[in-house]
Amino acid sequence: MNSFFELKKIIRPHILTLAPYSSARDEYTGHTGIFLDANENPYGSVTDEKFNRYPDPYQSDIKKKIAQLKGVEDRRIFLGNGSDEPIDLLVRATCTPGKDRIIILPPTYGMYEVSASIHDVHIDKVSLTADYQIDTDAVLNAITPLTKIIWICSPNNPTGNVMKRDAIETLLARFDGLVVVDEAYIDFTDEPSWIERLDTYPNLVVLQTFSKAWGLAGIRVGMCFGSIELIQILNKIKPPYNISLPAQQALLAGLESSSKKDEMVAEILKERVFLQKGLISLSLVNKVFPSDANFLLVQFDDARSVMRYLIEHTIIVRDRSKVHLCEGCLRITVGTREENEVLLDSLTKFQQMSVIA
């Protein structure tokens, strides 16, 4: 338990007193009536779909469904335009440009650094260990009075592994700023979500997404779970209608299909094993790192040559060979059985060509 954390101490003072934009839908939250308050087109839309009305700015119906699904109060849920929006808002809410600092743990998701850089926030980088775990002592030593956020991606991108819980517990207990655990890939592991610990740690923030397991990357909706006070602040500084009506409609429909999501996850996990075995059997592969995500980090003898060959055959993977601690690595998303077989067949042909050469 972190007993010395106070949210108001890390929120920028002017944010605490900021008067948020008041939209027409803030004044009337009903769904029926004659709407003459928001300067909308009363005749409908240029498409057959009815998109002439603004969407619910706080996505109330969606949050109620998510609350039931995740076992958390709807008041502790923020929905953003992808997870990138709450990442950006958390930096904006807490960090004074040119003054405050964040800590990231490379190799990790790149948007933590990008968002901080956009807002002129100093970035302290504390490398993960050789086995891609948190160096707890090094992180604690990197904390300064100006450090506002520690970003932890678990399962981690691009390495695919889950961070040890005791390390995260230590940071939550000993840091008086926000500890953000990004769980974009949580559906692909048996590890419990940190959402379960929100009541224990007031400085804990958890990010999840609909882009991966749910297959809804195109609608761009991310979830942020935190204290009621923090969610109120994020709602205060977000754009008025940050989740579009088509996105909300698609998400409401998707939430009725959680069983299909579970089926797809099961297939992905099965294919992860298939792909891992196939990659390990190839001599051009040095190592396939353990994964709790829907991708594999794979180290090759000559990653760039492999990357070029795959692109020539319209097989697109992610080159991570220049990323810290990922030298010589490609990140390969788990595909369908057919896609995985095509990939393995192409890598086998490349290996045979290399032997002949």
147 and 292 both lie in a single domain: no
- Average pLDDT (247-257) is 95
Supply φ then ψ for residue 34, to 5 degrees: -95, 110
Give CA torsion, residues 307, 324, 211, 285, to 10 deg.
40
Question: Percentage of residues in the chain with pLDDT exceeding 70?
Answer: 99
Question: Percentage of residues in the chain with pLDDT exceeding 90?
Answer: 88
**Cβ atoms of 243 and 55 closer than 8 Å:** yes
Q: How many CA atoms lie within 13 A of 305 on its CB side?
A: 10
Element (H, E) at 206: strand 204-209
Residue 276: give the domain boundaries.
259-356
In a domain, 21, yes or no: yes
Q: Which two tokens stand for residue 250?
A: 């698609």
81 and 214 both lie in a single domain: yes
Q: pLDDT value at position 357?
A: 57
Span between the terminal Cα atoms of the chain, in Å: 61
189 and 241 both lie in a single domain: yes
209 and 352 both lie in a single domain: no
Tally of structural domains, the chain: 2
In a domain, 2, yes or no: no
CA–CA dist 242, 81 (Å, integer): 6
**Domain end marker among 208, 241, 256:** 256
Minimum mean pLDDT range among 30-44, 121-135, 171-185, 242-256: 30-44
149 and 11 both lie in a single domain: yes
135 and 250 both lie in a single domain: yes
201 and 277 both lie in a single domain: no
In a domain, 65, yes or no: yes
| Structure confidence by residue, pLDDT tens digits, 116-131 | 999 999 999 999 999 9
**Domain end marker among 239, 256, 273:** 256
**What's the pTM?**
0.95
Q: Which two tokens stand for residue 46?
A: 């240029």
Minimum mean pLDDT range among 4-8, 212-216, 307-311: 4-8
Residue carrying structure tokens 């939250």: 29
Q: pLDDT value at position 25?
A: 74
